[in-house]
Amino acid sequence: MERVTDVDRAREVLREAVGQSDDLVFFGGAGVSTASGIPDFRSEDGLYRQQFAYPPETMLSHSFYEAHPAEFFDFYRKKMVALGARPNRAHYKLAELEESGPLTAVLTQNIDGLHQMAGSRNVLELHGSVHRNVCQHCGHVYPAEWVMATEGVPVCEECGGPVKPDVVLYEEPLDQRVLDAAADAVARCDTLVVGGTSLVVWPVAGLVDLFSGRRLVIVNKGATAMDGRADAVLDVDIAQAFDF
Protein backbone atom coordinates (compact mmCIF):
# COMPACT_ATOMS: atom_id res chain seq x y z
CA MET A 1 0.00 0.00 0.00
CA GLU A 2 1.32 3.42 -0.98
CA ARG A 3 0.60 6.29 1.41
CA VAL A 4 0.80 9.70 -0.25
CA THR A 5 0.96 13.12 1.41
CA ASP A 6 2.16 15.08 -1.61
CA VAL A 7 -0.59 16.62 -3.75
CA ASP A 8 1.28 16.25 -7.02
CA ARG A 9 1.87 12.56 -6.40
CA ALA A 10 -1.77 12.15 -5.37
CA ARG A 11 -2.84 13.58 -8.71
CA GLU A 12 -0.55 11.15 -10.50
CA VAL A 13 -2.08 8.21 -8.64
CA LEU A 14 -5.60 9.34 -9.53
CA ARG A 15 -4.69 9.96 -13.17
CA GLU A 16 -3.22 6.47 -13.39
CA ALA A 17 -6.25 4.89 -11.72
CA VAL A 18 -8.61 6.69 -14.10
CA GLY A 19 -6.54 5.83 -17.14
CA GLN A 20 -6.50 2.12 -16.35
CA SER A 21 -10.17 1.85 -15.42
CA ASP A 22 -13.09 0.71 -17.54
CA ASP A 23 -15.64 0.97 -14.72
CA LEU A 24 -14.80 3.52 -12.04
CA VAL A 25 -17.00 4.22 -9.02
CA PHE A 26 -16.55 7.08 -6.58
CA PHE A 27 -17.82 6.73 -3.00
CA GLY A 28 -17.72 10.03 -1.11
CA GLY A 29 -18.48 11.45 2.30
CA ALA A 30 -18.56 14.74 4.17
CA GLY A 31 -14.99 15.66 3.25
CA VAL A 32 -16.09 16.23 -0.34
CA SER A 33 -18.47 18.93 0.87
CA THR A 34 -16.25 20.54 3.50
CA ALA A 35 -14.06 21.72 0.62
CA SER A 36 -17.15 23.72 -0.44
CA GLY A 37 -17.52 25.25 3.01
CA ILE A 38 -20.16 22.86 4.38
CA PRO A 39 -19.26 21.70 7.92
CA ASP A 40 -19.04 18.01 8.65
CA PHE A 41 -19.92 16.27 11.90
CA ARG A 42 -16.83 14.69 13.38
CA SER A 43 -13.88 16.97 12.58
CA GLU A 44 -12.41 19.49 15.00
CA ASP A 45 -14.76 22.19 13.71
CA GLY A 46 -17.65 19.83 13.03
CA LEU A 47 -21.20 20.00 14.35
CA TYR A 48 -20.51 17.42 17.05
CA ARG A 49 -18.00 19.81 18.63
CA GLN A 50 -20.48 22.70 18.79
CA GLN A 51 -22.83 23.45 21.67
CA PHE A 52 -26.59 23.25 21.15
CA ALA A 53 -29.62 22.80 23.41
CA TYR A 54 -29.55 19.11 22.43
CA PRO A 55 -26.73 17.03 20.93
CA PRO A 56 -26.81 17.18 17.10
CA GLU A 57 -27.18 13.42 16.83
CA THR A 58 -30.29 13.69 19.03
CA MET A 59 -31.80 16.53 16.99
CA LEU A 60 -31.21 14.56 13.80
CA SER A 61 -33.05 11.48 15.04
CA HIS A 62 -36.48 10.32 13.94
CA SER A 63 -37.76 10.31 17.51
CA PHE A 64 -36.69 13.95 18.02
CA TYR A 65 -38.32 14.93 14.72
CA GLU A 66 -41.56 13.32 15.91
CA ALA A 67 -41.45 14.74 19.46
CA HIS A 68 -39.99 18.20 18.80
CA PRO A 69 -40.68 19.13 15.16
CA ALA A 70 -40.28 22.89 15.65
CA GLU A 71 -36.85 22.46 17.28
CA PHE A 72 -35.89 19.97 14.58
CA PHE A 73 -36.68 22.38 11.77
CA ASP A 74 -34.93 25.26 13.51
CA PHE A 75 -31.71 23.21 13.64
CA TYR A 76 -32.29 21.79 10.17
CA ARG A 77 -32.66 25.19 8.51
CA LYS A 78 -29.66 26.67 10.31
CA LYS A 79 -27.19 23.78 10.07
CA MET A 80 -28.24 21.22 7.46
CA VAL A 81 -29.20 23.32 4.43
CA ALA A 82 -26.48 25.31 2.65
CA LEU A 83 -28.08 26.76 -0.44
CA GLY A 84 -25.17 29.14 -0.99
CA ALA A 85 -22.59 26.36 -1.29
CA ARG A 86 -21.07 25.65 -4.69
CA PRO A 87 -19.29 22.59 -6.10
CA ASN A 88 -15.52 22.39 -5.74
CA ARG A 89 -12.91 20.90 -8.05
CA ALA A 90 -13.63 17.35 -6.89
CA HIS A 91 -17.32 17.64 -7.84
CA TYR A 92 -16.51 19.08 -11.26
CA LYS A 93 -13.79 16.54 -12.01
CA LEU A 94 -16.11 13.66 -11.19
CA ALA A 95 -18.72 15.10 -13.54
CA GLU A 96 -16.04 15.36 -16.26
CA LEU A 97 -15.03 11.74 -15.71
CA GLU A 98 -18.63 10.61 -16.06
CA GLU A 99 -18.97 12.60 -19.28
CA SER A 100 -15.74 11.15 -20.72
CA GLY A 101 -16.58 7.57 -19.84
CA PRO A 102 -14.74 5.74 -17.06
CA LEU A 103 -16.87 6.94 -14.12
CA THR A 104 -20.12 5.02 -13.96
CA ALA A 105 -21.55 6.08 -10.59
CA VAL A 106 -21.12 8.50 -7.71
CA LEU A 107 -22.16 7.17 -4.32
CA THR A 108 -22.51 9.93 -1.76
CA GLN A 109 -23.33 10.20 1.92
CA ASN A 110 -23.90 13.93 1.46
CA ILE A 111 -27.33 15.51 1.21
CA ASP A 112 -26.39 18.83 -0.42
CA GLY A 113 -26.89 18.05 -4.11
CA LEU A 114 -23.51 19.50 -5.12
CA HIS A 115 -22.64 16.53 -7.34
CA GLN A 116 -25.73 17.16 -9.46
CA MET A 117 -25.03 20.90 -9.48
CA ALA A 118 -21.59 20.14 -10.93
CA GLY A 119 -23.12 18.03 -13.69
CA SER A 120 -23.02 14.43 -12.41
CA ARG A 121 -26.04 12.40 -13.50
CA ASN A 122 -25.77 8.94 -11.96
CA VAL A 123 -25.64 9.97 -8.28
CA LEU A 124 -26.81 7.55 -5.61
CA GLU A 125 -27.71 9.62 -2.53
CA LEU A 126 -27.36 7.15 0.31
CA HIS A 127 -28.64 9.56 2.95
CA GLY A 128 -31.16 11.44 0.82
CA SER A 129 -31.21 15.11 -0.17
CA VAL A 130 -32.27 18.45 1.29
CA HIS A 131 -33.59 19.29 -2.17
CA ARG A 132 -36.54 16.92 -1.79
CA ASN A 133 -39.09 17.58 0.93
CA VAL A 134 -42.11 15.32 0.89
CA CYS A 135 -45.61 15.76 2.29
CA GLN A 136 -46.21 12.80 4.56
CA HIS A 137 -49.91 12.71 3.60
CA CYS A 138 -50.21 13.34 -0.15
CA GLY A 139 -46.62 12.92 -1.32
CA HIS A 140 -46.24 16.37 -2.87
CA VAL A 141 -42.54 17.28 -3.18
CA TYR A 142 -41.13 20.70 -2.33
CA PRO A 143 -37.64 22.12 -3.00
CA ALA A 144 -35.25 23.23 -0.31
CA GLU A 145 -35.91 26.88 -1.11
CA TRP A 146 -39.56 26.41 -0.21
CA VAL A 147 -38.71 24.91 3.18
CA MET A 148 -36.23 27.69 3.91
CA ALA A 149 -38.94 30.29 3.20
CA THR A 150 -41.36 28.76 5.71
CA GLU A 151 -41.38 29.17 9.47
CA GLY A 152 -41.82 26.55 12.15
CA VAL A 153 -43.06 23.19 10.96
CA PRO A 154 -43.75 23.35 7.20
CA VAL A 155 -47.15 22.12 6.05
CA CYS A 156 -48.23 21.08 2.59
CA GLU A 157 -49.95 23.71 0.48
CA GLU A 158 -51.98 20.98 -1.21
CA CYS A 159 -53.42 19.10 1.76
CA GLY A 160 -52.08 20.65 4.98
CA GLY A 161 -50.03 17.60 5.88
CA PRO A 162 -46.56 17.76 7.48
CA VAL A 163 -43.64 18.13 5.07
CA LYS A 164 -40.51 16.14 5.96
CA PRO A 165 -37.06 16.45 4.37
CA ASP A 166 -36.16 13.42 2.30
CA VAL A 167 -33.04 12.79 4.36
CA VAL A 168 -32.22 9.70 6.39
CA LEU A 169 -32.38 10.56 10.09
CA TYR A 170 -30.89 8.49 12.87
CA GLU A 171 -33.19 5.54 13.69
CA GLU A 172 -34.43 5.46 10.09
CA PRO A 173 -33.49 2.83 7.50
CA LEU A 174 -31.75 3.69 4.27
CA ASP A 175 -33.70 3.51 1.04
CA GLN A 176 -33.18 -0.13 0.11
CA ARG A 177 -33.35 0.55 -3.63
CA VAL A 178 -30.57 3.12 -3.40
CA LEU A 179 -28.50 0.85 -1.17
CA ASP A 180 -28.95 -2.10 -3.54
CA ALA A 181 -27.92 0.03 -6.54
CA ALA A 182 -24.84 1.24 -4.65
CA ALA A 183 -23.92 -2.31 -3.70
CA ASP A 184 -24.24 -3.44 -7.33
CA ALA A 185 -22.05 -0.56 -8.52
CA VAL A 186 -19.28 -1.35 -6.02
CA ALA A 187 -19.44 -5.08 -6.69
CA ARG A 188 -19.06 -4.72 -10.46
CA CYS A 189 -16.53 -1.88 -10.79
CA ASP A 190 -12.83 -2.47 -11.47
CA THR A 191 -11.69 0.69 -9.64
CA LEU A 192 -13.16 2.17 -6.47
CA VAL A 193 -12.12 5.62 -5.27
CA VAL A 194 -13.25 6.46 -1.75
CA GLY A 195 -13.02 10.13 -0.86
CA GLY A 196 -13.70 12.41 2.08
CA THR A 197 -14.92 9.78 4.51
CA SER A 198 -13.36 8.00 7.46
CA LEU A 199 -15.65 5.01 6.77
CA VAL A 200 -17.10 4.81 10.26
CA VAL A 201 -20.80 5.33 9.41
CA TRP A 202 -22.61 2.05 8.89
CA PRO A 203 -24.16 0.43 6.99
CA VAL A 204 -22.76 2.46 4.09
CA ALA A 205 -19.12 1.92 5.15
CA GLY A 206 -19.71 -1.79 4.61
CA LEU A 207 -20.10 -1.18 0.88
CA VAL A 208 -16.32 -1.23 0.55
CA ASP A 209 -16.35 -4.88 1.64
CA LEU A 210 -18.18 -5.70 -1.60
CA PHE A 211 -15.34 -4.44 -3.77
CA SER A 212 -13.30 -7.12 -5.55
CA GLY A 213 -11.90 -5.13 -8.46
CA ARG A 214 -8.35 -4.23 -9.40
CA ARG A 215 -7.65 -1.03 -7.50
CA LEU A 216 -8.93 0.67 -4.33
CA VAL A 217 -7.80 4.27 -3.77
CA ILE A 218 -8.70 6.24 -0.63
CA VAL A 219 -8.48 10.05 -0.61
CA ASN A 220 -8.98 11.39 2.90
CA LYS A 221 -7.35 13.72 5.37
CA GLY A 222 -6.55 11.30 8.19
CA ALA A 223 -6.73 7.54 8.58
CA THR A 224 -9.75 5.42 7.68
CA ALA A 225 -10.90 1.99 8.80
CA MET A 226 -10.07 0.56 5.36
CA ASP A 227 -6.55 1.96 4.80
CA GLY A 228 -5.01 -1.48 5.15
CA ARG A 229 -7.02 -2.79 2.20
CA ALA A 230 -6.23 0.08 -0.17
CA ASP A 231 -3.69 0.06 -2.97
CA ALA A 232 -3.05 3.74 -2.32
CA VAL A 233 -4.04 6.11 0.50
CA LEU A 234 -3.89 9.78 -0.46
CA ASP A 235 -3.75 11.84 2.73
CA VAL A 236 -4.33 15.18 1.01
CA ASP A 237 -7.07 17.75 0.42
CA ILE A 238 -9.58 16.10 -1.90
CA ALA A 239 -10.33 19.20 -3.99
CA GLN A 240 -6.62 19.66 -4.66
CA ALA A 241 -6.13 15.98 -5.46
CA PHE A 242 -8.86 16.05 -8.11
CA ASP A 243 -7.41 19.12 -9.79
CA PHE A 244 -5.91 17.19 -12.69
Residues in Cβ contact with 139 at an 8 Å cutoff, skipping those fewer than 6 apart = none
* DSSP structure string for 75-93: HIIIII--TT----HHHHH
Q: Beta strand 128-135 with 163-167: parallel, antiparallel or unpaired? A: antiparallel
Cα–Cα separations (whole angstroms), residue 205 to 136, 162, 211, 240? 29, 32, 12, 24
The closest alpha carbon to 40, from 85, 96, 99, belongs to: 85
Q: Element (H or E) spanning 194, and its range? A: strand 191-195
User: CA 55, 171, 54: angle at the middle one, nearest 5?
Assistant: 15
Q: Listing from the earlier edge strand, what are the strands of the sheet with 24-28?
A: 2-4, 232-234, 215-219, 191-195, 24-28, 103-108, 123-125
**Any idea which residues carry the catalytic annotation?**
127
